[in-house]
């Protein structure tokens, strides 16, 4: 009995799949005979649309028309003119630029007002700077040019020219700086880099800043031989002297001295040492102001400082005696004009020493 059941079960299992297939075929055939199409599960699945909720992306049928891309606007300027600007950083500069030239560009002022362009910087020759010229504004670009020159003697002119463009949208200046010496009256025809001229190209970023304060524009520093003729303590004299103009060593825009002889150690009639600072007095151990100097064009005026009388650094003598009184200057002034390589002027000072004395003289060179 056990063997019989064991042999029957496998055969029953074999026929079960076949029976299932026959049943499925009968169902399909019945539907076809009735004239009604069999339902399609694929179609039902395809035609079913699930409506989006929340921020879920919409189907193509419900997609809104995307907005047009934004139009490209012209770059807006970061700077505007008129204005005064200073160099903020050097972007590029010729590899051959000296440390002095780099400092001048780093300290530069770029000034644009009413069509006039001014370029100025520090550590430069006062007779050449500032440079003045013109500029034109095209909206976002400003083209400029400025220059200056002065006679260097021997039929030559020293000159400096700066020209280039300022991009107002980036605040970047692209410039060329040219300088050198050319034949007088030939600056406009000067070719860059010729006849000993130097050319410097570069770019700097600028920002608003302050103007460079006015600088000394008076006589060029140097020594000028002169003759002084006048009276001291009522005694007439005429003698050789030297007018020395020196760069400021104190609070004056420039310093100037009149020196003739050595009154403290070798008294002589009309010997004098008078100046605005001890910087132009030979042998001075320290430099300090002895008076107030003012400049107007090519003329320098020195006013004696009464507070410095006790130092006797400004002094004169009225005789050749070894026992002559050394007069310390207490008040008065000296005026010196330097033109065409020579100095002239006058001096009128007084002293309270030894009962007092007055020193008056004309200075000619």
Q: How far apart are CA 364 and CA 216, in angstroms?
A: 24
**DSSP designation for 105:** H
Gap between the Cα atoms of 173 and 146, Å rounded = 14
pLDDT of residue 247: 84
Q: Between the CA of residue 313 and those of 265, 304, 309, 320, what are the distances in Å?
A: 13, 11, 8, 19
Q: What was the pLDDT predicted at 129? A: 85
Q: What is the DSSP track for 15-74?
A: HHHHHHHHHHHHHHHHHHHHTPPPP-HHHHHHH--PPP-TTPPPPGGGPPPPPPPPPPPP
pLDDT for 218? 79
pLDDT in tens, the chain (365 residues): 334 344 444 444 444 444 444 444 444 444 444 444 444 443 444 444 444 444 444 444 544 566 666 555 556 778 999 999 999 999 999 878 888 889 999 999 999 999 999 999 987 766 678 899 999 999 899 999 999 887 655 566 778 999 999 999 999 999 999 988 766 555 454 444 344 578 999 999 999 999 988 766 778 888 999 999 999 999 999 999 999 998 888 888 889 999 999 999 999 999 999 999 988 777 776 788 999 999 888 999 999 999 999 889 999 999 999 899 999 999 999 999 999 889 999 999 999 999 999 999 999 98
32 dihedral zone (left: phi>0; alpha: psi -120 to 50; beta)? alpha
pLDDT reported for residue 179: 86
Q: For residue 41, what pLDDT is reported?
A: 43
Q: What is the predicted pLDDT for the residue at 52?
A: 47
pTM of the model: 0.48
Distance of CA 170 to the CA centre of its chain: 17
Q: Are 84 and 209 spatial neighbours (Cβ–Cβ below 8 Å)?
A: yes
CA atoms within 13 A on the CB side of 299: 7
What is the pLDDT at residue 184?
53
Q: How many other C-beta atoms lie within 10 A of the C-beta of residue 108?
A: 24
Instruction: Provide the token pair at 88.
Output: 């903020």
Angle CA 42–45–50, to nearest 5: 165
Neighbours of 238 (CB within 10 A): 12
Q: For residue 253, what are the contacts with CB-CB under 8 A and spacing of at least 6?
A: 215, 216, 218, 293, 294, 295
pLDDT value of position 103: 92
Cβ proximity of 110 and 206 under 8 Å: yes
* Nearest by Cα to 188 from 150, 155, 147: 147
Which residue in this structure is represented by tokens 């991009």?
Answer: 167
3-class state of residue 231 by DSSP: strand
Q: How far apart are CA 269 and CA 233, in angstroms?
A: 10
Q: How many CB atoms lie within 10 A of CB 306?
A: 12
pLDDT reported for residue 123? 74
- Residue 326 CB neighbour total at 10 angstroms: 16
Distance separating alpha carbons of residues 35 and 12, to the nearest angstrom: 36
> What CATH number should be reported for the domain whose range is 83-185+192-208?
2.40.128
Domain boundaries, the chain: 83-185+192-208, 222-364
């Amino acid at each position: 009995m056990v063997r019989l059941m064991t042999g029957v079960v496998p055969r029953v299992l074999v026929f079960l799949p076949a029976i299932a297939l026959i049943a499925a075929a009968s169902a399909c055939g019945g539907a076809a005979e009735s004239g009604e199409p069999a339902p399609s599960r694929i179609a039902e699945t395809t035609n079913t649309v699930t409506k989006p909720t929340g921020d879920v992306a919409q189907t193509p049928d419900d997609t809104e028309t995307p907005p047009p891309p934004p139009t490209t606007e012209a770059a807006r300027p970061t700077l505007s003119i008129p204005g005064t600007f200073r160099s903020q950083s050097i972007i590029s500069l010729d590899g051959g630029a000296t440390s002095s030239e780099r400092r001048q560009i780093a300290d530069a002022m770029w000034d644009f007002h009413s069509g006039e362009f001014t370029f100025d910087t520090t550590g430069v020759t006062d007779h050449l700077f500032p440079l003045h010229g013109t500029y034109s504004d095209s909206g976002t670009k400003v083209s400029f040019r400025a220059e200056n020159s002065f006679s260097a003697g021997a039929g030559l002119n020293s000159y400096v020219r700066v020209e280039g463009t300022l991009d107002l949208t980036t605040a970047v200046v692209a410039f060329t700086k040219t300088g050198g010496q050319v034949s007088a009256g030939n600056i406009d025809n000067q070719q860059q880099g010729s006849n000993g001229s130097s050319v410097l190209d570069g770019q700097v970023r600028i920002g608003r800043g302050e103007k460079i304060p006015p600088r000394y524009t008076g006589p060029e520093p140097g020594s000028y031989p002169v003759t002084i003729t006048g009276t001291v303590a009522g005694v007439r004299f005429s003698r050789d002297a030297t007018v020395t103009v020196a760069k400021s060593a104190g609070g004056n825009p420039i310093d100037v001295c009149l020196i003739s002889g050595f009154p403290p150690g070798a008294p002589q009639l009309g010997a004098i040492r008078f100046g605005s600072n001890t910087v132009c007095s030979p042998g001075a151990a320290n430099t300090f102001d002895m008076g107030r100097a003012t400049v107007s064009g090519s003329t320098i005026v020195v006013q004696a400082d009464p507070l410095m009388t006790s130092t006797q650094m400004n002094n004169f003598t009225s005789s050749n005696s070894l026992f002559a009184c050394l007069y310390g200057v207490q008040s008065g002034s000296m005026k010196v004009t330097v033109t065409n390589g020579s100095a002239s002027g006058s001096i009128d000072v007084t002293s309270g020493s030894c009962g007092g004395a007055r020193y008056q003289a004309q200075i000619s060179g």
